Structure 1
């Protein structure tokens, strides 16, 4: 498949709240649609299922990938799955977080490290990158020279680890071993805020 195939990453920003450890914050989330004019894979179903479905615009949805189990990244997943018929995929280490948001509704499948996901003839590979949560995953799409990092890596450095189900040394190890080893020109499509690149973030990730 050539670069003019139409495979691309589309960003939709949705707004809502994030709640954990007894606190609630207003947040804007990046929802990513990866694919072409016929089918897409959704990375993080945040806040607004109707808005995401409208962005899908009738294309076949191959999967709804949850980069982690925080409520702002999975809140719209069941409704979006019902609307599109696509399976919701989550790493099993984040099942406890999922169950607090969607009791009685299981994810449809599990993410595992190294798992390939196909969309529009292009392979996306799951990278288990724990630290922000125990089940946090990133999605590497070599064809697009891109990685979808969820809340693991942002413009400016690592994601937050000050709350339950997180650990700072673990996220640093994940980033250094799984993300910073990608080519420097790899674009990092984040869960919140602007894009960055692997090369730009290497100086922002301490070794200890």
Structure 2
């Protein structure tokens, strides 16, 4: 069966450091007509289940553990039997949202997850969060960047567990080295490409945001 990427937008809140903000999140579903993985189970397990449309969910992959990216993960896992996968450096953030549960498995840099015959390579890209990862699917000409890289620049680094020089290093060394035509599918907002973002690295550093 043909592998496809399905896109769902869910709405909820992001909370950290005593503040709460309304957010819309991108949920990405990668698979074929029989099986799939979910990248970032945000806000609405029911909506994600409807988008799966009866397919077997093999894994719930967390790009990082800010609450708006993982709040629906335990409910979705309970209803599907899928394993939740998270980089261990983000466990402190996970525990802020789900103190009584834990992910089922760990993500590691260089790890390859295969769904419907398509490889997703884990790239550890700390900065927005210590355990932030991106998922590179060369066969799909796509990288799923969570909140590490957006259209227009890096993810936010002004809150706990984040660091601007680290995210710049991650983007420069792990993402901008991908082919320029690679589609960047982000955690919020519109998609972009590596080629569109690469020329602006010096501007981001100068802004230092």
TM-score (norm 2): 0.96
The size of the alignment, in residue pairs, is 204
Q: CA RMSD in A?
A: 0.9
Partner of 1:169: 165
Cα distance, 1:203 vs. partner?
Answer: 1.8
- Among 64, 68, 80, the residue aligned to 1:84: 80
Cα offsets for 1:39-69 (capped at 9, x unmatched): 1110000000010011011101111000001
Cα distance, 1:204 vs. partner?
Answer: 2.3
Cα offsets for 1:177-196 (capped at 9, x unmatched): 00000000000000000000
SS where residue 132 of structure 1 aligns? coil
Cα distance, 1:205 vs. partner?
Answer: 2.1
| Match status 1:49 vs 2:45 | yes
| Structure 1 residue ranges, 4+ long, deviating more than 4 angstroms after superposition | none
Contact 1:158 1:205 in 2 (8 A): no
Q: List aligned pairs for 1:56-71, cutoff 5 A.
A: 56-71=52-67
SS where residue 131 of structure 1 aligns? coil
- Among 15, 25, 29, the residue aligned to 1:29: 25
- Among 136, 145, 148, the residue aligned to 1:149: 145
Gaps of 5+ in 2: none
- Among 190, 193, 196, the residue aligned to 2:189: 193
Gaps of 5+ in 1: none
Cα distance, 1:100 vs. partner?
Answer: 0.9
Partner Cα separation in structure 2 for residue 205 and residue 152 of structure 1: 13
Q: List aligned pairs for 1:52-131, cutoff 5 A.
A: 52-131=48-127
